[in-house]
Amino acid sequence: MAGRDFHAPLLRRAGWRVGDVVTADPGRRAAAEADWPGVRAHPDLTALLERSRPDLLVVASPSGRHVEHALAGLEAGVPVAVDKPMALDRDGAAALVRRAEETGTPLTVFHNRRWDAEQLTLEQVLAGGRLGTVHRFERRWERWRPVPKDRWRENAVGEGGLLLDLGPHLVDAALRLFGPVTAVRAELRALTTPTEDDVFLALEHAGGVLSHLTAGSLVGAPGPRTRVLGSAGAFLVPGHDDAPGPFDVLDPGEGMAGWLVRGAEAEPVPTAAGGPADFYRAVTRWLTAGGPVPVDPCEAVAVAAVLDAARRSARTGAAQRPAGD
């Protein structure tokens, strides 16, 4: 479903053509052929790689098979963009990077939220020094879903859950903005599903910033999407398009991403240019014009290390240091 619902529309907007689709479900193969006339539908990845040589392999299978499928693409010499999480743990992610280097095959990771207008706007605010010295970063991905969906993401313990689904985006944003993490504290709970649906991470960055990251499905009043606190003010994004909440009344208006706040003073901040399809536009430049890799896979390894540390912290109740080379 991720391939059809997320990747395919973004690929189209970025000028790519979907030429091959892999799914073991005959109904989905028929739907793919109807959605994209001329597409070749295959029952498994082996069949695709035997019959076709795509310009790019997008791995959007369930998380537990990301490493297997990405390795198959790398071994075949096909450039790979693997969806988040890159792997279930740091070891799996690092193994992919090593194999990409050994085969000389391009590898990137779909951390597409880097191109969200909100993220790009925050980067501009920080670059302009408008918040002074930042001491805390908060980001929430909360929603009210008391009756969970019946999908592998909710049910597959060890492969699903919000830590692996939304955690990569949250952690990637924190690392990109504020650098390496020296300690992780975490709370992980399963309230309505077999997998965790209530996640809180506290990250201590080497530069002194604290990041508080939250993801939850049983949140009747979703909090402000983003709040960044500094010595000269705060940046506030009240709501999230995917989860209506009580802070939507603070919407800054069309063309505005959030607020620059100093006590009772609030100034709307214009939205930076950009959007989710820019990931695949960057892939095009990377593969055809020698542009930079859209997401360095080594950065996804660092994200996986933080998520591993979060699991250890939740299990032990103590802060944990992410593993590194």
All domains in the chain, ordered by first residue: 2-113+280-295 (3.40.50.720), 116-273+307-316 (3.30.360.10)
The per-residue pLDDT for range 72-108, each reduced to its tens digit, is 999 999 999 999 999 999 999 999 999 999 999 999 9
Average pLDDT over residues 212-222: 95
Whole-number Å distance between alpha carbons of 104 and 56: 14
Mean of the per-residue pLDDT values of the chain: 93
Q: What are 159's two structure tokens?
A: 């492969």
CB 137 within 8 A of CB 214: no
Over residues 160-169, the pLDDT tens digits come to: 899 999 999 9
* Mean pLDDT in residue range 43-69: 94
pLDDT of 222 reads 92
The pLDDT score that the predictor gives to residue 38 is 84
Binned at pLDDT 50, 70 and 90, residue 190 comes out as very high
Mean pLDDT of 20-45: 86
Report pLDDT digits (tens) over 223-263: 999 999 999 999 999 987 667 777 777 888 889 999 999 99
Residue 211 — pLDDT band, cuts 50, 70, 90?
A: very high
256: which residues sit within 8 A by CB, 6+ positions away?
A: 268, 269, 270, 271
Confidence of residue 154 (pLDDT cuts 50, 70, 90): confident
| Other C-beta atoms lying within 10 Å of the C-beta of residue 95 | 16
Residue 32 is predicted with a pLDDT of 81
Q: Using an 8 Å Cβ cutoff, are 21 and 38 in contact? A: no
For residue 1, what pLDDT is reported? Answer: 61
**Strand residues in 130-232 grouped as ranges (E):** 134-142, 181-189, 198-205, 210-216, 226-230
